[in-house]
Chain A
Amino acid sequence: MTDDREALEPRADPLAILARMWLIRAFEEQVSALYGKGIIRGLLHLGIGQEGVAVGAASALRAGDLVFATHRAHAHALAKGVDPVRLLAELVGRTTGLCAGKGGSMHISAPEVGFVTATGIVGGNIPLAIGAAYASRARPDDRVALAFFGDGAGQTGSFHESLNIASLWRLPIVLVCENNGYAEFTPLSAHTNVERIATHASTYGIEAETVDGNDVVAVRDAVGRAAEAARGGGGPRFVEALTYRLRGHYEGDPAKYRELAELSDWRAKDPLTRYRDRLEADGLLDAEGTTIGRIEAEARRRVDSATREALDAPLPAPDDVTRHVYAS
């Protein structure tokens, strides 16, 4: 079984892919429970239902590629190989956390595995990713940068400016739009009359693909194609992955602005269930469900263990408030 702290390889064992998706699911459900108990505070934006995009995309990248994510970043971090213990410790504000307890859910960072940063500003990470791609082009090296962003970011000025520059300078970047149909509480149609965010890519001459975001294999294939094209000097690529968040915008949001029928439609397309079905059809899972049961149990065990370890770790000291403001 692949270590959760490893990046998934493009040729990763299908069970490893499934295990990673389960790790994320178990992690998100756990932190949801911790939040409900007041152990995690602040704002928590979960990626339950969107694991296909995170894992599909990450598994198409190389370990050295750089990922920039949004406020809803746990799945992407874990998919890229971030240590669940350190991630959980960060969410409960411990000094052993990824950011010494100073960043919290929306600002996680793990540069050592290529997960550069999340951000609390919608669209704020896209220029950052463009910059990393620029550095790769200028050096040059063979890294690709990848920016995850939502459908809401497609209306920001930074999105436009970034696509323009990426195309002008033929930067090695993959832009992945996770279109879950909602920007906070508002459906996409109330934000813009452009139905597919990928439409904007063609304005700047950027090749784009729209895929079923809940099909982890389709996402991996699309991002894989895009990454190789970008890496080979073909310039930026755009992948729009259609998906849905099964929870509210943040924990505590009852999401009454959504129809229950819509929610249950998408539940039936749960990326974990679909991938499991596919592996079963491929004969990789036994019909009795022991393997899948084991994978799920292992994920939950790892998350429980991470939780215990995180909660045992020390809280920051008063002095920590003014540490890390400057370099020295």
Chain B
Amino acid sequence: MAIPRLPSHRLMAQLRTLLRIRRFEEALIELARTHDVGHFHVYVGQEVTGVAALDLLEDGDVGYTTHRNHGHLIARGVDPAAMLAEILGRATGTNRGKGGTLHLASAEHGFPTTSSSVGGPIPIAVGSAFAFRELGNRRVSVALFGDGALEEGAWHESVNIAALRQLPVIFLVENNSLEALGQKANEYPSSTLASARLADLARPFGLPVAVVDGTDSRAVHIAMRRAVRRARALEGPSFIEAQTVRWPGSRPLWPQLLTGPTDLAMAWDAGRIGDEYRAWHERQDGVLRFARELLAAGATTREQILSIDEAAKEEMRSAVRFALESPYPEPREALEHVFA
């Protein structure tokens, strides 16, 4: 059983967020077929990690993330309509059209910025933790990044300082390269690390390390809960590696709905699962897994799941309309916000 021991309303809230993220990404991929959304990355297959982990943050806690940021922001309550508007460069976007998908941000929801140079968010996350410690406000900072970022020197410098000063930062690595350890082939960007186990990179600094299945919301929850407690008590940083198999649709440079729009009924009707991408639908899709497990625990019903899903789809349809109907920024806005 891989659902956390949480009250039912929180589990249902997680389900709702998972479905909202999934439908958001699908809507975006669909939109990208007819509109220029730039170069983007989706969180399909990794939603459980973000939702389960970020659920443990409170107001005032911050996260810094990378190009694969949509799920993180939605998990912390950023409005998908504003996100889509931003991705389409509209004035109603989270960054007023100036950042795009690669730099989505919402300080009020605890995501001051997305950095798109690999490794970029890590020192910044440590910096916020440094301030939190100095201010004594019991807040937590989370650095969200992928396995590739561990190749960057910035990781090494950051973890060293975080450990030295016992900073309240959590290094949450989403390793979506589970099928290929060590040297990766045919992936973009590639990940090449001499350490077969990513967690070994954190051990010399004395960080507690947890390696979990990223689609196991209970395991993610437990690891994150420990890390958050430790951080708030100013006992220092933690390292969590959440492993997932990369979604087949992510393989090409531009995401494609290779596994089709998610058919939630696959969670309870195995007959709907075809041979193509069978492993994905049976085992690797964390959203289907979560739904399956909630049903098995008697925490919800099929009808309820479908109803929540319908609401999610409608929300995203509405978000797409909002984004498409939103105006572009005024030309003079290109020069605003350069300086204070």
Which residue in chain A gives the minimum CB-CB distance to B123? Answer: A157
Nearest CB in chain A: distance from B339 CB, A: 30
* 25 interchain pairs, CB-CB under 8 A: A155-B157, A155-B160, A156-B153, A157-B153, A160-B155, A160-B156, A161-B152, A161-B153, A161-B156, A164-B193, A165-B194, A168-B183, A168-B193, A191-B164, A192-B205, A193-B164, A193-B205, A194-B160, A194-B206, A199-B204, A200-B204, A203-B195, A203-B201, A203-B204, A204-B194
Instruction: Using A157-B156, A158-B153, A194-B160 as known contacts, say yes or no to A164 and B194 having CB atoms under 8 A apart.
Output: yes
B154 at the interface (CB under 8 A from A): yes
Chain B at the A interface: mostly helix, strand, loop or mixed? helix
Cβ contacts under 8 Å, A190 to chain B = 164
Q: How many residues of B contact A (CB 8 A)?
A: 21
CA A156 to CA B161, docked complex, whole Å: 11
Which residue in chain B gives the minimum CB-CB distance to A170? Answer: B194
| Contact surface of B with A, Cβ cutoff 8 Å | 151-157, 160, 163-164, 183, 192-195, 200-201, 203-206
CA A14 to CA B141, docked complex, whole Å: 57
CA A200 to CA B194, docked complex, whole Å: 12
CA A28 to CA B203, docked complex, whole Å: 40
Which residue in chain B gives the minimum CB-CB distance to A127? Answer: B153
CA A309 to CA B164, docked complex, whole Å: 50
Known A161-B151, A190-B164; further 14 A-B contacts with Cβ < 8 A: A155-B156, A156-B153, A157-B157, A159-B153, A159-B156, A160-B153, A160-B156, A164-B192, A164-B193, A168-B192, A191-B160, A193-B205, A200-B204, A203-B195
Which of A155, A157, A167 has the most CB atoms of chain B within a 10 A radius of its CB? A157
With beta carbons under 8 angstroms apart, the residue of B152, B201, B204, B205 that contacts A157 is B152
| Contact surface of A with B, Cβ cutoff 8 Å | 155-161, 163-165, 167-168, 190-194, 199-200, 202-205
With beta carbons under 8 angstroms apart, the residue of B154, B200, B206 that contacts A193 is B206
Contact A167 B194 (CB under 8 A): yes
With beta carbons under 8 angstroms apart, the residue of B157, B192, B203 that contacts A156 is B157
CA A155 to CA B153, docked complex, whole Å: 9
Nearest CB in chain B: distance from A136 CB, A: 19
Which residue in chain A gives the minimum CB-CB distance to B151? Answer: A164
- What 5 A-B pairs are tightest by C-beta distance, nearest first? A157-B153, A160-B156, A167-B194, A204-B194, A168-B194
CA A246 to CA B204, docked complex, whole Å: 30
CA A191 to CA B165, docked complex, whole Å: 10
Which residue in chain A gives the minimum CB-CB distance to B165? Answer: A193
Contact A192 B194 (CB under 8 A): no
Nearest CB in chain B: distance from A149 CB, A: 14
CA A199 to CA B203, docked complex, whole Å: 10
Cβ contacts under 8 Å, A155 to chain B = 156-157, 160
CA A238 to CA B156, docked complex, whole Å: 18
Nearest CB in chain A: distance from B183 CB, A: 8
CA A289 to CA B154, docked complex, whole Å: 54
Cβ contacts under 8 Å, B163 to chain A = 192-193
Which residue in chain B gives the minimum CB-CB distance to A236? Answer: B194
Cβ contacts under 8 Å, A192 to chain B = 160, 163-164, 205
CA A168 to CA B150, docked complex, whole Å: 14
CA A255 to CA B93, docked complex, whole Å: 55
CA A207 to CA B191, docked complex, whole Å: 23
Cβ contacts under 8 Å, B195 to chain A = 164, 203-205
Which of B194, B205, B206 has the most CB atoms of chain A within a 10 A radius of its CB? B194
CA A95 to CA B109, docked complex, whole Å: 63
Nearest CB in chain B: distance from A196 CB, A: 9
Nearest CB in chain A: distance from B125 CB, A: 16
Which of A160, A192, A194 has the most CB atoms of chain B within a 10 A radius of its CB? A160
Which residue in chain B gives the minimum CB-CB distance to A154? Answer: B160
Which residue in chain B gives the minimum CB-CB distance to A167? Answer: B194
